[in-house]
Amino acid sequence: MNTPVLGIHHVTAIIGQPQPNIDFYTGALGLRMIKLTVNYDDPETYHLYFGDTAGTPGTAITFFPWPYAQRAQPGVGQVLSTAYAVPNGSIEYWLKRLSKRSVSSQRAERMGEQMLTIRDPDDLQIELVETDQLPDVQPWLDGGVPREHAIHGFHSVTLAVAQHQPTNDFLRDVFAFRRVSEEADVVRFETNQGGPGGFVQVQARPDLPRGEMGPGTVHHVAWRVTDDDAQAYWRNTVIKAGRHVTPVKDRNYFHSIYFREPGGVIFEMATDCPGMMVDENINALGTQLKLPPFLEDQRDQIVSKLPSITLPVRL
């Protein structure tokens, strides 16, 4: 069965207060708020989604706000940074844009690519990487960033592990990823289709403690599979590789399974379908609180316990 892992589907992190998060991702980064919902396993917690115009798989970064939790320490067994793809020649634009918004950024280079490293309001590391191989997505142009500099979905994620080999072997032997480059203590792999959106860096960080779970940390990275049949294939494959895998979870916009890769990072495998427009049309994405059918009869109770937020004003 030819069911390759297509690339990054989404990245989900834990934050503190929701409003600074909304303001940063829609204001500073110019992404679209594509879904306002709740954590289905904890309905008194928002689940915020930001991405491209249509919420295309491979563009969505999502957040669980824990307003009263203590900030956690990221470390081994977690995603240390999430990188977006931007067009070549965009770094100067982003330096000026972020500076005007009092967001500090720092130039860097990795594996021959020019990039900026940024810290969001919860100290999560975000990267903007210049590339001429832009993922085929629909950049959100109502967020104030012109098309020639706009974010075009994910470029890569960087995993922190105690040692390379277990994770490297899993990515190569189970996921069939290709090892494409190496620099210092970082090894880059890519999915079958390759390129930005399909990159993952594995970084050996024996100096770091085991990562904690809380505000300021990435909870998991989700990998794209086409549909339920592909997901079933991969669930069986991962189980045969000796990993404990959850049953399929219906997340309304996609179906998900979860497990830890050998280095401890939580992986999700999420289907491309049914997609973000299963419960609202493209023009309405992210404009109102959406609940799954099994929570709809609890709407008043849920809303009463969620913190008040101001949604972004569209240009």
Average pLDDT score over residue span 234-242: 97
Beta strands in the chain (DSSP E): 8-15, 32-39, 42-51, 60-65, 78-87, 105-110, 113-119, 125-131, 154-161, 178-183, 186-190, 199-204, 217-225, 249-250, 254-260, 266-274
- The Cα-based distances of 116 to 11, 82, 105, 168, 266 in angstroms read 19, 12, 6, 26, 26
Which pLDDT belongs to residue 3? Answer: 87
- In this prediction, residue 196 carries a pLDDT of 95
Hey, how many other C-beta atoms are within 10 angstroms of the C-beta on 16? 20
Which pLDDT score is estimated for 313?
A: 77
pLDDT band at 129 (very low <50, low <70, confident <90, very high): very high
**Average pLDDT, integer, range 80-106:** 96
30, pLDDT greater than 90:
yes
Nearest one of 61, 236, 62 to 153, comparing CA atoms: 61
Contact 58, 7 (CB under 8 A): yes
Distance of CA 227 to the CA centre of its chain: 19
**Is 70 exceeded by the pLDDT of residue 79?**
yes
The reported pLDDT for the residue numbered 193 is: 82
Superfamily (CATH H level) for 8-305: 2,3-Dihydroxybiphenyl 1,2-Dioxygenase, domain 1 (3.10.180.10)
For 187-198, what is the mean pLDDT?
92
Percent of the chain, pLDDT > 70?
Answer: 99
pTM (two decimals):
0.96
Q: Whole-angstrom Cα distance, residue 123 to residue 128? A: 15
Phi and psi at residue 314, in whole multiples of 5°?
A: -85, 140
CA dihedral 81, 270, 5, 147 (to 10 degrees): -60
pLDDT, tens digit, 9 for 90 and up, residues 274-313: 999 999 999 999 999 999 999 999 999 999 999 999 998 7
Tell me the DSSP string of 243-288.
---PPPEE-SSEEEEEEE-TTS-EEEEEEEEE-GGGSS-TTTTTSS
Place of tokens 């970084």: 203
Stretch 227-232: mean pLDDT, rounded?
96
pLDDT in tens, 141-168: 999 999 999 999 999 999 999 999 999 9
Domain spans, the chain: 8-305
